[in-house]
Amino acid sequence: MQIKMESNLLGANEMLARQNRSLFEQKGVLVINLMSSPGSGKTTILERTIDVLDGQLKLGVIEGDLYTDQDAQRIDKKGVQVFQINTEGACHLDAGMIGTAYKRLTTGNEDIIFIENVGNLVCPAEFDLGEELRVVVMSTTEGNDKPLKYPLIFHQAQAILLNKIDLLPYTDFSLDRFSDDLARLNPSALLFKVSGRTGEGIKTWTEWLLGVVDKKKIGLNN
């Protein structure tokens, strides 16, 4: 019974995710699902990313949070369109929430919409939101064993942002072990080493995003 309920839930989500995806394609917007455990630095990275890209691209942010709007307020201060979803305790975002949020947020001409998922490495991986890219943020302070412990989320991601790289010397994090495990689990994933605190590596990440947006525009014009 439990299993049947779960598969119905995922089936319904799948249908809404497909609707979102075709809408995003039609609008030509790059939608990125940012996932991580709590405290890995998603919001700080978003702030840094906005600092570099704002003015070059039209951005929007959908903030997922259990109860508060603190992260949305931080994004709002940057002058970027933001829509807050409070999941009231639910530990992941789903496609229905994103469909509603997008319609409330959009002005119709965004280049990128970032979705900050609820901090959790488990079930967000199971819920397709209709996004084009999945990005996992994890920090050096969380330990290098996370890809092996949470293989699904790392397996599905197109890019991994290894945050708090400035703290690497103060941790037991093994970059070699981490890179090897990741390469075995997901050989095509891109790895960006960044620091939300110092800004290190952010430019490499934003250059990649600009490239993805450019390619998308060329594709749309053909």
The DSSP secondary-structure symbol of 143 reads -
Q: Which is nearer to Zn ion, 20 or 117 (CB)?
A: 117
Nearest CB to Zn ion, comparing residues 64 and 201:
64
Cβ atoms < 10 Å from Cβ of 2: 6
Q: Which does 42 bind (CB under 5 to 8 A by kind): Zn ion, Mg ion, none?
A: Mg ion
User: How many residues belong to the site for Mg ion (CB under 5 A)?
Assistant: 3
Indicate which single residue of 13, 40, 50, 71 sits in contact with Mg ion (rule: CB under 5 A).
71
DSSP state of 182: H
Shortest distance in whole angstroms from residue 116 CB to Mg ion: 6
Sheet with strand 133-139: strands edge to edge: 81-86, 59-65, 112-116, 30-35, 133-139, 159-163, 190-193
> Which residues contact Zn ion by CB under 5 A?
91-92, 123
CB under 5 to 8 A by kind: which of Mg ion, Zn ion, none does 167 bind? none
- Of 33, 17, 31, the residue nearest 136 (C-alpha): 33
- Cβ atoms 205, 194 nearer than 8 A: yes
Decide which of Zn ion, Mg ion, none touches 123; Cβ closer than 5 to 8 Å per partner kind: Zn ion
In the complex, the residues that contact Mg ion under the rule CB under 5 A are: 42-43, 71
